[in-house]
Structure 1
Amino acid sequence: MKAAAKQYTFIDEIITDQCLPRLSSKVAFINKFKQLNAFPPLTVVGGKRKQDHKRTANAVLKRGFDIIVAGIALLVISPILLLIAAIIRLESKGPIFYAARRAGKNYQVFKFYKFRTMVVDADKKLQQLQHMNQYKSGDGPVFYKVSNDPRVTRFGAFLRNTSLDELPQLFNVLIGDMSLVGNRPLPLYEASTLTTDDWAQRFLAPAGITGLWQISKRGKKEMSAQERIALDINYSNQHSFRYDMWIMANTPKALIQKDNV
């Protein structure tokens, strides 16, 4: 069985007689997952599935708002985008944009765009900075965040501290990979550690540029991985168009951070 799992990498789990006591809870979780992500959104009333009109309205408002705001923003800030691209190219060799595979809603993998703020091949140097990792997760979920990361370029530090490196994600919003508000899409090595029933709940919400984590904890070194997941799950449980507007209203004060993280 182990050999088959290694050969066929799409296998998430092999069910044996030892798994049978937990099988019913796993099936219940999968049913809940499908129900919460159905469109039009569904709810169960008296044992019957009915369309959740409130969630449908929120979904339509959210997507419409994303398209309008992202489209207008890209037109307005296009001169700024060109200026940033030129400075990045002049400062160091390498691509202007950083594109990485990230896991968003329902673990959907997509290319995530940012302005490049690090030296070329920075990902390959991550293992050398394990001792500087802000998150000490032990056997739990794996997150990486390095304070005053030596891989960051001088202009890259400015882009990060002002959050200008995030602007290319408006393209992700426009094509539907992300939303303006949601849980941050995670690198695949982080997402692969969040597959238990409880932690997977954070992937029920859309991936977003800003979110509850950013306005609550951004730049605070004392934040643990568990606190970050709890904030993501909190948003996943209660996100709505009104809640998104509240988060966006509180985002500007979180844009400027003192610590280069």
Structure 2
Amino acid sequence: MTSSKQKNNIELFKLPLWKRIFDIFFSLFAIIFLSPLFIIISIAIYFEDRGKICYCQKRAGSNFKIFNFIKFRSMYIDADKRLKEFAELNQYEIENEEEKKIEFHNIKVSDDGILINENTLIDENTIINDENVIINNEEVKDENLLFGDDFTVVANDFAIFQNNIKRNSFKKLEGDPRITKVGSFIRRYSIDELPQLINILKGDMSVVGNRPLPLYEAELLTNDEYIERFLAPAGLTGLWQVEKRGDAGKLSAEERKQLDVKYSREFNFWMDIKIILRTFTAFIQKGDV
């Protein structure tokens, strides 16, 4: 009985009526108005690299609701075969010499160019034995150790590991050769995002909000510091997408996450209108939105 009451007391985000009405009218108008562009892009994608025009990916939106996120396909059909070749292409430079020692093992690259590590991050003095126990290659007895149910880890190495898990939640590739020529163009002007107007019409997301995240990335943000970003609309465009665009500046992962939290706390009708107007300017600027 108690657990049932606690479950019912969990506060979930509820989309305001004004925002849903705006989303329906905006998405319907945009789909009709942009239908010639949809047709042209679809033909171009198909004739450059025969295959599906769009692709769907599971993403986490408001209240961590999972839905099929639609985009125009911008990569070659055999892109999965090329993933490991691009593990070293990192948009965000490693600035700290200590961090340069860290190697990425079992790297996976998503369709969005996100670098993720399926197992762990280790430095040159750390090894993982056959039982998946993290140990230090030097004098372990002189180090501070942390013990878990099924692992032992040197405290300093674990701190580095945790720091990099946090840093790498928004890793992206730059100059990804998996992208087609048409894909490069539609990504540059964010045209690949337009099929999400269908998601908006269906109610999966909103015109303005925090970007719905791939599941592996969303799981890294389910702590007290960032969970609030999910208590807001999932959106086609948002606050961080229109920041630092004019000076060719790139937001850090931490800045993006903080802006997501800010939007979830402060969003209103006029803020949304302002973001939409700034997004139109961002469309003609170089870089992904």
Whether the aligned pair in 2 keeps the contact of 1:134 and 1:221 (CA below 8 Å) is no
Aligned to 1:172: 199
Q: 1:196 corresponds to which residue?
A: 223
TM-score, structure 2 normalization:
0.68
| Pick aligned residue for 1:64 from 13, 18, 21 | 21
User: What 5-or-longer segments of structure 2 have no aligned partner?
Assistant: 1-5, 95-162
Secondary structure of 1:147's aligned partner = coil
The AA in structure 1 aligned to 2:243 is S
Q: Which amino acid aligns with 1:175?
A: K
* Distance apart, 1:161 and its partner CA: 1.0
Unaligned runs of 5+ in 1: 1-27, 40-57
Say whether residues 1:228 and 2:185 are aligned partners.
Answer: no
- How is 1:1-261 mapped onto 2 (pairs within 5 angstroms)? 34-35=10-11, 37=13, 39=14, 59-123=16-80, 125-135=82-92, 138-140=164-166, 142-217=169-244, 222-259=250-287
TM-score (norm 1): 0.74
CA displacement at 1:130 relative to structure 2: 2.4
Name the one with the larger helix percent: 1
Counterpart Cα distance in 2 of 1:124 and 1:111: 23
How many angstroms apart in 2 are the aligned matches of 1:188 and 1:94?
25
SS of the residue corresponding to residue 113 of structure 1 reads strand
The 8 Å contact of residues 67 and 174 in structure 1, kept in 2 or not, is answered as: yes
When residues 258 and 92 of structure 1 are mapped into structure 2, their CA distance, relative to the original with a 3 A threshold, is same
Shift of 1:77: 1.4
For the residue of structure 2 that corresponds to 1:242, the secondary structure is: helix
Cα distance in 1 between the residues matched to 2:245 and 2:46: 28
Query: How far apart are 1:217 and its partner, in Å?
Result: 4.1
Q: Displacement of 1:126 after TM fit?
A: 3.7
What is the CA-CA distance between 1:125 and the residue it aligns to? 3.9
SS of alignment partner, residue 190 of structure 1: helix
Between stretches 243-252 and 117-126, larger displacement belongs to 117-126
* Residues 128 and 63 of structure 1, relative CA distance in 2, 3 Å threshold: same
- Higher RCO structure, 1 or 2 (CA under 8 Å, sep 6+): 2
Structure 1 match to 2:122:
none
Aligned mates of 1:233, 1:112 — CA distance in 2: 21
SS of 1:233's partner is helix
Are the counterparts in 1 of residues 190 and 288 from structure 2 also a CA contact under 8 Å? no
Greater gyration radius:
2
Count how many residue pairs are aligned between Structure 1 and Structure 2.
Answer: 213
8 Å contact kept, 1:157–1:260? no
Give the CA deviation at 1:221: 6.1
